[in-house]
Amino acid sequence: MQGKALLRQITTEQEQSDWDVPLPEEKKMQWKLWKDSLLELEQLNIPRPYVSVSLSATKRREICIFSDASTMAIAYVAYLRVIDTEGQSHVGFLMGKSKLAPRPAHTVPRLELCAAVLAVEMADMITTELDIEIHAMNFYTDSKIVLGYIHNASRRFYTYVANRVTHIRKSTCPEQWHHISTDKNPADHGTRLVPAAALKQTNWFVGPSFLRKPETKETTQVETFELIEPDQDKEVRPQVTVCRTIVTRDSLGTHRFERFSSWKSLTRAIGKLICLARSSCRATNTDQRSNDHLEQAKVTIIRCVQQEVFKEEIQGLLKKEEISQHNSLKDLYAKQWKQVQSLADIFWKRWRQEYLVIFQPCKKWQDDKPNLQVGDVVLLKDSQAHRNEWPIGLIVGTDPSSDARVRKVEVRIVRQGIPKVYARPISEVVLLLSKG
């Protein structure tokens, strides 16, 4: 981190002059000291295995991720904590990362929240790459403000905080987030200028000591955090008090309809009530027709009856619940559907028996009418097909009798892309279009 911070400082100052201008002696000395300090990394050893025991022989495995931020940098580091069969804890370094804080500078709470978001993204990446079962995922931060943001369920935030809290809660739940003091937080070292020689003396690679305890309340206790001074926090939206008026509408009650002797008198009475209600309303539409109140009265009466008879069914539909197969409302719809189908069958039957036959009047040969001829387009009757699926064909041959009358024709039709020719009496064809 020391090198990243120094490079940013040098490049920022160099922007005010030419790129090839030599560094000031002070900056040159700082850069040389940092570069020479990297030689200490040769003495740093990191064990290859995560822990000293076989992962397959452990009974519990946890991932613990720590995050921290300062005005200079953001850091997050992850450890694998396992419990062996004897109840002993073992901790291994998984990965860690630090980056410079964005410019222009943000507030520390915002930077801490960004660190928490990056910790969640690291957790998603680790769980994807590890080929072992993880029983728990815990997150730690030393910012109680951020913990208040994550645990909040009563106040709303402005866009910056709201988007990041939503991202965090999409992958984690508030119970996974815990507080840790700054002096125990290993991620704190990633936000400071720690020389390479001093890394061995930090807990960056080994994690905090409480992770190595067999059982710790710090990792199992469920904590809740409140917002810290939300009325003074600029990230929290102010509360707005809203008064709501609830208007209840009582049904007319179908028992009132029993006072009327006929449907006509009932609709007239309800229509008069509608007219009185309209006249007392200042927003009355004077362009409405004089008898539309009767139509509205009919709708009102029917709706009132439906709401009483099918009260439970209507409430279930509003809640998008499934209606039982033996429900009376479903039976009503089934009856209406059958009625519609029956009316459709009646229509097509009458269309075939009363309308279609006019194209072929059954009369004796008293009038001299032209014979069917080759090239005429006809409708071919088919007792095996549905009434509206009779095929259309083309006459390709005629068979006149001794009196020169054509009483039998050959009709070519196409079914499923295959042409076929049928011989039919003219009583079974209907002329649609004459060639002449």
Which sequence spans correspond to the domains of the chain?
A: 1-43, 47-220, 254-309, 324-358, 360-433
- pLDDT for the residue 120: 96
- Split the chain (436 residues) into runs of 10 and give each run's mean pLDDT: 84 70 85 88 85 88 94 94 90 93 88 95 92 92 94 91 94 93 93 86 92 65 82 86 65 80 88 83 53 85 84 79 71 81 87 75 63 90 78 91 90 88 90 83
- pLDDT for the residue 387: 65
User: Residue 181's closest CA among 221, 142, 219?
Assistant: 142
Q: d(Cα 83, Cα 176) in Å, to the nearest integer?
A: 19
- pLDDT for the residue 321: 76
Q: What contacts 233, CB < 8 A, 6 or more positions away?
A: 145, 227
- pLDDT for the residue 15: 62
- pLDDT for the residue 80: 94
* Span 47-220 CATH architecture: 2-Layer Sandwich (3.30)
- CA of 164: how far to CAs of 118, 153, 158, 171, 177, in Å? 10, 15, 10, 11, 15
* Span 360-433 CATH architecture: Roll (2.30)
What are 343-350's contacts with CB under 8 Å, separation 24+? 348/387, 348/388, 349/387
- pLDDT for the residue 14: 65
- Provide the 3-class DSSP secondary structure of residue 247: coil
Q: Which 8-state DSSP code applies to residue 236?
A: B
- pLDDT for the residue 354: 80
- pLDDT for the residue 219: 46
Q: Which two tokens stand for residue 360?
A: 């072929």
